[in-house]
Structure 1
Amino acid sequence: MKKNKTCGPRFKMLLEEANITTTAFAEFLNIPKPQNVHNWYTRGVPHYRMEEVAKKLSVNVKWLKIGEGPKDAMELRLLDDSGNTFDAQAMRGAYRVIEPNDVELPFYKEVAITPGELKTHVIRDPEQSIRMLRSDLDSLEINHADAICTRMIGNSMAEKIEDGSLLAIDRGLTQIVDGEIYAIEHDGMLRIKYLHRVPGNALRMRSHNSAEHPDEIFRAAQIDEQNIRVLGWVFWWSTLNKRRPEVPFL
C-alpha cells in the first residue's frame, strides 16, 4: 500500500478547513474504521485513495500528493449513482457545509422523463436546496450525507402537511416503522404517506386527508410490478399559510 507521508499535514488541513471529522470523512469513503483515516494525518493518504480523496475535497491531486501546483480544482465534477453530476465540494453530492453550524441539502423533485411525456421520475434539481442546522440533524442521529429535501405535491397530507410545503428526508431510514411518514417513489411519482406494514410483506399507504384519499394496500407482487420504493423517512416539514389575513378597519 504505497503512501506519501508528506501529504498527511495537507490532508489534515483540508478536513479542518471544511470542519469535517475523520469519522465523517470515513463515512464518505465507506471506510468502516475511522481510525484508518485518522492515521493518514501521519502516514499519508494511500496511493490508491489519492485521486478519490482529492476529488472529494475539490483539490488538485498533485498538490495533495506532493504540495506542487495549484491547490484548488474548482472544475472537478463527479457522478452520483443516478448519473447526475455534482460539485466535488458537495461531499458525495449529498450536502455542503455553508457555515460551521449549517449544511445545505440537495433538492429532489418529480419531473417528466422527457418534455411533454406523462411518465415521470424523481431526480435532483441542482438549482435548488435548503439550509438546515447541523445540530438538528445530529440530534436525530441523521448522517448529513443522507439528508435531502423536496416539496409536498397535492393535498393528500392536508392539514398535516400542506401542498407546497418543503420537506426534509432521511435516506438512511427506509425500514418501515408503522405510522411514520415517508417519501416514496411510486413508478416515478413522488408521494408522501404514512406507511404501515401488512402481513405477507404487503404495504399500506395512508393519507392524513383520508376523506379524499382512502388507504391503499399493495401486495408484495404489486410493490415490484409498480416500482414502489421507499426514499426515506420525513423528519421535517414547513407549512406556508397561503392566505394573507386582511387587516380590518382600513
Structure 2
Amino acid sequence: MKKNKTCGKRFKAVLKEAKITTTAFADFLKIAQAQNVHNWYTRGVPEYRMEEVARILSINSAWLKTGEGPKDAKETRLIHDTGNIFDAHAIRGTYQVIEQTDVEVPFYKEMPLTPGSSKTHVVKDPENSIRLPRCDLDSLEIRHADAICARMVGNSMAEKIEDGSLVAIDRGLTQIIDGEIYAIEHDGMLLIKYLHRVPGNAIRIRSHNSAQYPDEVFRSAQIEEQNIRVLGWVFWWSTLNKRRPLVPFL
C-alpha cells in the first residue's frame, strides 16, 4: 500500500481533534461534495492536496503523508483576506474553527431569453440569495449545493403559499412523490405546484387555489413538447404580510 494512502487515519484523527466535520472541511477547500473529503478517510488525502490540507490544519505535511517526523508544523504561514500574514502555529492554541451556522442559497427567477424577448427561461440571479439554517438542510438530508430559492408569483397556491413568498427548493429530489409541492419549469415559466403521477408517464399539476386554477394533466408527449421539467422539491417557504396593521388612537 502506498504511504500516502495510509494518511487517511491520521487525517480523520486531526479533524476529530479539531472538531471539524468533513462538510465544514469541504467548505474550506471549496469542494462541492463533502463525500469526496469523507472518502479520504479510506483512500488517503490526494497528493496534490497534501500541502494545502496540512497548511489549513497547522500540521507537518510529511507526518500527514507518512506518519514520520513531528506532527505539528514548525511554521505555518497563512495569508488573511486583508493581505496580512499570520503564523497559524503560534496562535493555534488561541482559536477554534467554528462552522458556519447557515448556508447561502442562490436565487433563481424567470428572465428573458434575449433582451426584449417575451420568451423566458429560469436562470440564476447572481445579485440575490437567501441564507437558511445549515441544521435544517442537514436534518432533511439536503446537499447544500442542491438548495436553491425562488419567489412565488401569482395566487395559484394561495392560501398555502402567498404571492411574493420566498421558497426553497431541493434540486436533488426531482422524483415525483404524489401530493408533494415542487418547482417546475413549464416552457420557460417558473411554477410552484402540487404534482401527482398519472399512468402512462403523465403528470397531474394541481394548485392549492383549485377554485381558480383547475387541475391540468399532461401526457408524455405534451411534457416533451411544452418543455416541462421538475426543478426540485419545495421544502421551505416564507410569507411576508403585505399589510402593516394600523395602530389606533395615535
Same fold (TM over 0.5): yes
Q: Provide the rounded CA distance (Å) in 2 between the counterparts of 1:21 and 1:191.
A: 35
Aligned CA distance change for structure 1 residues 19 and 161 (closer, same or farther; 3 Å): farther
User: Deviations for 1:89-125, whole angstroms, at most 9, x for unmatched residues?
Assistant: xxxxxxxxx9532111111111111111011111111
Aligned CA distance change for structure 1 residues 11 and 71 (closer, same or farther; 3 Å): farther
Partner in structure 1 of residue 222 of structure 2: 222
* 1:37 partner SS: helix
Superposition map of 1:145-164 within 5 A:
145-164=145-164
Q: Provide the rounded CA distance (Å) in 1 between the counterparts of 2:150 and 2:132.
A: 13
Aligned CA distance change for structure 1 residues 219 and 132 (closer, same or farther; 3 Å): same
Aligned pair 1:28/2:29, yes or no?
Answer: no
Displacement after TM superposition at 1:17 (Å): 9.2
Partner in structure 1 of residue 144 of structure 2: 144
Superposition map of 1:66-145 within 5 A:
100-145=100-145
User: Deviations for 1:198-230, whole angstroms, at most 9, x for unmatched residues?
Assistant: 111100101111121111110001111111110
* 1:145 partner SS: helix
User: Deviations for 1:151-206, whole angstroms, at most 9, x for unmatched residues?
Assistant: 11111111111111000111111111111100001111100000011111100101
* 1:209 partner SS: coil
Displacement after TM superposition at 1:4 (Å): 7.2
Q: Provide the rounded CA distance (Å) in 2 between the counterparts of 1:126 and 1:73.
A: 25
Taking every aligned residue pair, what percent have the same amino acid on both sides?
Answer: 66
Partner in structure 1 of residue 200 of structure 2: 200
Q: Provide the rounded CA distance (Å) in 1 between the counterparts of 2:18 and 2:193.
A: 40
Q: Provide the rounded CA distance (Å) in 2 between the counterparts of 1:72 and 1:214.
A: 59
Partner in structure 2 of residue 189 of structure 1: 189
Aligned pair 1:38/2:41, yes or no?
Answer: yes
Please say if residues 165 and 240 of structure 1, whose CA atoms lie closer than 8 Å, have aligned partners that are also in contact: yes
Please say if residues 193 and 205 of structure 1, whose CA atoms lie closer than 8 Å, have aligned partners that are also in contact: yes
Stretches of structure 1 that go unaligned for 5 or more consecutive residues are 60-64, 75-97
Partner in structure 2 of residue 167 of structure 1: 167
* 1:222 partner SS: helix
Task: Tell me the TM-score normalized by structure 1.
Answer: 0.69
Aligned CA distance change for structure 1 residues 227 and 242 (closer, same or farther; 3 Å): same
Partner in structure 2 of residue 242 of structure 1: 242
* 2:106 partner SS: strand
> What letter corresponds to residue 40 of structure 2 in structure 1?
V
Q: Provide the rounded CA distance (Å) in 1 between the counterparts of 2:109 and 2:19.
A: 28
Displacement after TM superposition at 1:27 (Å): 6.9
Superposition map of 1:47-58 within 5 A:
47=48, 50=49
Q: Provide the rounded CA distance (Å) in 1 between the counterparts of 2:24 and 2:42.
A: 12
Q: Provide the rounded CA distance (Å) in 2 between the counterparts of 1:121 and 1:24.
A: 35
Stretches of structure 2 that go unaligned for 5 or more consecutive residues are 56-60, 63-72, 82-97
> What letter corresponds to residue 249 of structure 1 in structure 2?
F
Q: Provide the rounded CA distance (Å) in 1 between the counterparts of 2:163 and 2:101.
A: 29
Report the structure number with the largest CA radius of gyration.
2
Q: Provide the rounded CA distance (Å) in 2 between the counterparts of 1:215 and 1:140.
A: 29
Please say if residues 11 and 41 of structure 2, whose CA atoms lie closer than 8 Å, have aligned partners that are also in contact: no
> What letter corresponds to residue 106 of structure 2 in structure 1?
P
Please say if residues 151 and 164 of structure 2, whose CA atoms lie closer than 8 Å, have aligned partners that are also in contact: yes
Runs of 4+ in structure 1 displaced over 4 angstroms?
2-5, 7-20, 22-27, 70-74
Please say if residues 12 and 41 of structure 2, whose CA atoms lie closer than 8 Å, have aligned partners that are also in contact: no
